[in-house]
Structure 1
Amino acid sequence: MRIWQQPLRGPQAWTRADLAASDAWQPELTAADRREIAAALAHATAAQVPMLHWRQADFPLRELGGRLAAISDQVRDGLGITLLRGLDIADYTDEQVCMIYWGLGLYLGEPLGQNPKGDLLGHVFDQGREYGQLDVRGYETSAYLPYHTDSANMVGLMCLRQGLSGGRSSFVSAVSIYNAILAEHPEYLELLYRGFYYIRREEALTGNGVSNTPLPVFGVRDGVLSCRYIRNQINAGAVKRGIPLTDVERAALDFFDAQTQREDLRVDFMLQPGEMAFCNNLTMLHSRTGFVDGTERHQRRHMLRLWLRFSAPWPVTEDFGEQRNFELLGRTVVSLET
């Protein structure tokens, strides 16, 4: 196991000040873009091809498609984050918004399944489940979600509706966290490279329910970092195995968590209806504050989520391996009836 001992450079090692210095990471759709999206939606609706079987030609974006490909490249090799604004969804139905988001996503990467059902277009809303239970995933609740990664190359979130309050999104660079650990506690890196056992939420109440081997937090290949981190699943994995984390393991994870809370490293924003955030899931972590819903449908927070694979392979190390996902388990979409 080779541990990278030099600071990591490049645009992915950003800080809050770096993002504040330029709004280039916040592109806005133009009137021409919106007209092209509306025409693509009309084309797809008339063709009646099932949405989850679309290819780019089924949602034609001759001009905007090139810009979306450039955004994908920026997410992969640049800062690793994009906030795409300018889509007015007020005159679209929920179903049409889903179609638009799915169509845009086809120009950014290859969709991946997000759960054992194989859902390719995820719906993030409070399903009344209790956060912290072994078999509950955070997106099914209204709770605060600590900084974490998902099982994809790129993660996209689109706001369909906001709740009454809360639900603020936050992102932090895993590369900047790595540099902070190297500078202040390099002795923790070996533990983070070796990794930890994770609970498997969908199997937590049956069978073993724990990863077969430790999953590394960090891996570096050719000077490119990959990060995988879900603290709650690490904690639950230790409980499930009956082998508590050691004092030094907890200290390493606590220091990692402390870096995610630094205001000088993270960026926070509230997604407005129609806005879309895309991030490089291998170089960034994301979080969400808790939220409160109202009793009316328009007062209930609802986000659409995409997990995407980059068109060009990411340079993961052999020890880091592939992120676990569910892309082979079907092509389905959950109901909008919430």
Structure 2
Amino acid sequence: MAPAHTTYLPTPSHQISSTSNNKASKAIFPDGIKTSGQHAPLYDQLRPYSEFPKEIAGPTVWKAEDYTHNPERWTHPFSPSEIQEMSCAADAFLASGTPLTGITKETFSLPNFRKFLEGMRNELLNGKGFILFKGMPVQEWGNKKSAVAYMGLGTYLGYLVSQNGRGHVLGHVKDLGDDATQIDKVRIYRTNARQFFHADDSDIVGLLCVARALDGGESDIVSSHHVWNTLQRENPDVAEELTKPLWYFDRKGETSKGEEEWIKTSVFYLEKGENPRVYSKWDPYYIRSLTRFSNAGIIPPLSPAQKRATTVLEETCLHLALHMILEIGDIQFLSNCHVLHARTAYKDYPAPAPRRHLMRLWLSTPEDEGGWKLPFHDSAEKKRGGIQVDDTPPVAPEDAE
């Protein structure tokens, strides 16, 4: 890495061995694996802008027009046999009495469907990076059985990691009435506000639609590699700014003992090793919420170049995005490595109709199991990424809380 990038960067305070979280107490973590959590990158493994590609090629670079009128290229309606296999696996899991936090491929057997899921996992990690399943019978099954089937499906794609400081490995995207303007305290998924283009703290994110909104709440996704190519052509100064490890990301109080309240990092990275791919990690809410620290002079405010980069990045994503609507029973899986996603603001049906409700999964794919080789100390950990506060145990609530 260029010396100019290293002279003022702190040494990470989290020097954890690559296997430490794989030996967690089973009294707390049912499978003996602890979510690694949020961490700063290994700064000496970051690459300068001069080493990034001018243009990315391959299946991870896609355009919205390739898919808008060709749903067969990115949707998979569940077949009757697939529904039956998931139903039997869910019933068997429920009958076993195993806690939902302990679900694995071994406890949720899909002997036939697993072959398709293995190929789809590769497509998520190394191909276009998204798929929309259609037709899970959530209204017939109810929330509990649907959650089991959904989480069981997810185990074939990655390891379930915690999504917040309370240990939720099954998340619920639902308006709980939180004040969306209090972005330093509130996670936007708990409101009905617009979500700008971002990537979550996991390798793959899943969303199962349980109930739709009256209006809005629609999904947009974009290939971050197509975005990168566009920035390189039209705004190379922005592309360069986004590769600098000078961006502070808020942790919104979801910190373990001794950890800082923010992470200093880049937006675009290169993988480790030969022929590295461009990896993206972004959420504008998490950089705009840090004024409580920048106003106090603890960290620097966003520079004019950073403010311009934030605006240009969002505008580029909007221009290139693929729009989709999730119906009840649809499941969207996305790669967070090379796909950014957004959500429009929404309005719920009046009570007593159910509020818009999506069940969410964050899934980890460690590098020794085909995941991306990331410049983070936990790249080989089974449950890399996610959000972990001290030894908070995993929980899988059946509804938002």
What does residue 273 of structure 1 align with? 328
AA of the residue aligned to 1:156: G
Report percent identity of matched pairs. 25
After superposition, the Cα gap between the structure-2 partners of 1:271 and 1:260, relative to the gap in structure 1 and judged at 3 Å, is same
The superposition leaves residues 258-280 of structure 1 with CA deviations (integer Å, 9 ceiling, x where unpaired) of 10110xx2111111111100011
Unpaired runs of 5+ residues, structure 2, are 2-47
Determine the C-alpha separation between the residues in 2 that align with 1:182 and 1:210. Answer: 32
AA of the residue aligned to 1:20: T
Q: Aligned ranges for residues 239-318 of structure 1 at < 5 Å?
A: 239-242=292-295, 243-262=300-319, 265-296=320-351, 298-310=353-365, 311-317=369-375
Q: Bigger shift: 145-154 or 33-42?
A: 33-42
AA of the residue aligned to 1:87: M
Q: For the Cα contact (< 8 Å) 2:219–2:326, is it kept in 1?
A: yes
Residue 18 in 1 paired to residue 66 in 2?
Answer: yes
Q: Aligned ranges for residues 1-338 of structure 1 at < 5 Å?
A: 1=1, 2-3=48-49, 4-20=52-68, 22=70, 23-133=72-182, 134-195=184-245, 196-202=247-253, 210-212=261-263, 214-221=264-271, 222-242=275-295, 243-262=300-319, 265-296=320-351, 298-310=353-365, 311-317=369-375, 324-326=385-387, 329-336=392-399
Determine the C-alpha separation between the residues in 1 that align with 2:220 and 2:248. Answer: 26
Q: For the Cα contact (< 8 Å) 1:199–1:240, is it kept in 2?
A: no
Q: Bigger shift: 235-244 or 55-64?
A: 235-244
AA of the residue aligned to 2:59: P
Superposed displacement of residue 43, structure 1: 1.3
Q: For the Cα contact (< 8 Å) 1:37–1:100, is it kept in 2?
A: yes
Determine the C-alpha separation between the residues in 2 that align with 1:131 and 1:106. Answer: 32
After superposition, the Cα gap between the structure-2 partners of 1:62 and 1:141, relative to the gap in structure 1 and judged at 3 Å, is same
After superposition, the Cα gap between the structure-2 partners of 1:320 and 1:46, relative to the gap in structure 1 and judged at 3 Å, is closer
Any idea what SS the aligned residue of 2:241 has?
helix
TM-score under structure 2 length normalisation:
0.78
Determine the C-alpha separation between the residues in 2 that align with 1:330 and 1:63. Answer: 32
Extract structure 1 runs of 4+ deviating beyond 4 A.
Answer: 206-209, 318-324
Determine the C-alpha separation between the residues in 2 that align with 1:337 and 1:18. Answer: 36
Q: For the Cα contact (< 8 Å) 2:161–2:385, is it kept in 1?
A: no
Q: For the Cα contact (< 8 Å) 2:208–2:331, is it kept in 1?
A: yes
Any idea what SS the aligned residue of 1:287 has?
strand
Determine the C-alpha separation between the residues in 2 that align with 1:132 and 1:26. Answer: 35
Any idea what SS the aligned residue of 2:222 has?
strand
Superposed displacement of residue 320, structure 1: 12
Superposed displacement of residue 230, structure 1: 0.9
After superposition, the Cα gap between the structure-2 partners of 1:326 and 1:233, relative to the gap in structure 1 and judged at 3 Å, is closer
Any idea what SS the aligned residue of 2:132 has?
strand
TM-score under structure 1 length normalisation:
0.91
Cα root mean square deviation, aligned: 2.4
AA of the residue aligned to 1:45: L
AA of the residue aligned to 1:155: V
Q: For the Cα contact (< 8 Å) 1:203–1:209, is it kept in 2?
A: no
Unpaired runs of 5+ residues, structure 1, are none
Superposed displacement of residue 132, structure 1: 2.7
After superposition, the Cα gap between the structure-2 partners of 1:228 and 1:58, relative to the gap in structure 1 and judged at 3 Å, is same
Q: For the Cα contact (< 8 Å) 1:29–1:84, is it kept in 2?
A: yes
**Count of aligned positions:** 334
Q: For the Cα contact (< 8 Å) 1:173–1:283, is it kept in 2?
A: yes
Determine the C-alpha separation between the residues in 1 that align with 2:141 and 2:69. Answer: 34
